[in-house]
Structure 1
Amino acid sequence: MRPMTRWAMTGALLTTAVAGPLSMPAHSAPAAAPASLYAPSALVMTTGHGEKAATTAPERAVTVNCAYATSGTHPDPRQACADLERANGDLDRLATLRGNDAGQLCTREYRPIVVTVQGVWRGTRINYEHTFANPCIKETQGAAAFAF
């Protein structure tokens, strides 16, 4: 091979090796999921007859998702999310939000019912438990979020 041809071949191979990958489309990493405009707000609520959640078997459990669109297995997820918004996520306040505005009278029997709420509210982890004296008090004093 002539020296000039050898230099030409070496130059062509070098150019291809360096510029070749630059001329091809780059494979990008998979795009990350877009960040949500809303902090997550998804809760699981349970209820059961007993004084403490640790010793009570849940009799009913519902879910509430209050992020962008309300959803869940709660009988009225929109009202539950509205109650949570009104209480600003303060579940102690939620337990007495309604008071007894309906004027319904409850017996003074002691048949405790415990409500638990676990999950995330506006990006903050929640683990809450409240015991009502009986189901009537839970329905009349507790917010609609607890009516399930």
Structure 2
Amino acid sequence: MRTTARWAATIGLTAVTVCGPLTGAAVAAPGSAPSSLYAPSALVLTTGHGEGAAATPERAVTLSCAPTASGTHPAAGQACAELRGAGGDPGGLKSGDDVFCTKLYDPVVVTVEGVWQGKRVSYERTFPNACTRDTYGALFAF
């Protein structure tokens, strides 16, 4: 019985010694974002004049929000923050109330395709004009 207890203790200590450093890398402090472990967030945004996806894209940008904001989007940091605030749903963004646009109808379509925190994103919206599109924040203003 004593030999079995010694072997069990030896195996247990060996496992802790060998595997201990591995578990430390996977555990992050509450509320912190580990730099090496994150769900992918990479999006391609397009905009163009016309109605629906049939409109020819006039401009396209990339946006990556993990581990840091980057890409060709001109305001990547602010766009990522807005998208985080909307839970990764571009449709959840709200128009700013302090901007007034004309009623001119010159439709502008915006598409967002890619992955947000490991989940597929496919979004399309037609705005009545570019001014209205830009009131929804930095995400669509490129």
Instruction: Assess same fold via TM > 0.5.
Output: yes
- 1:38, 1:119 → 2: CA distance? 16
**Match runs of 1:1-148 below 5 Å:** 36-53=36-53, 55-94=54-93, 97=94, 99-101=95-97, 103-140=98-135, 142-148=136-142
Residue matched to 1:14: none
Displacement of 1:100 in angstroms is 2.9
- 2:99, 2:120 → 1: CA distance? 34
Could you list the per-position Cα deviations for residues 88-131 of structure 1 after superposition, in whole angstroms to 9, with x for gaps in the alignment? 1122112xx2x233x33211111100000000000001111011
- 2:45, 2:126 → 1: CA distance? 13
- SS across alignment from 1:84: helix
- 1:127, 1:104 → 2: CA distance? 27
* Number of positions where the alignment pairs a residue of Structure 1 with one of Structure 2: 109
Q: Between Structure 1 and Structure 2, whose CA radius of gyration is higher?
A: 1
- SS across alignment from 1:62: strand
Could you list the per-position Cα deviations for residues 69-102 of structure 1 after superposition, in whole angstroms to 9, with x for gaps in the alignment? 11100001000100110001122112xx2x233x
Runs (5+) with no aligned partner, structure 1: 1-34
Give the fraction of aligned pairs with identical amino acids, expressed as a percent: 59
- TM (norm. structure 1) is 0.69
Runs (5+) with no aligned partner, structure 2: 1-25, 27-35
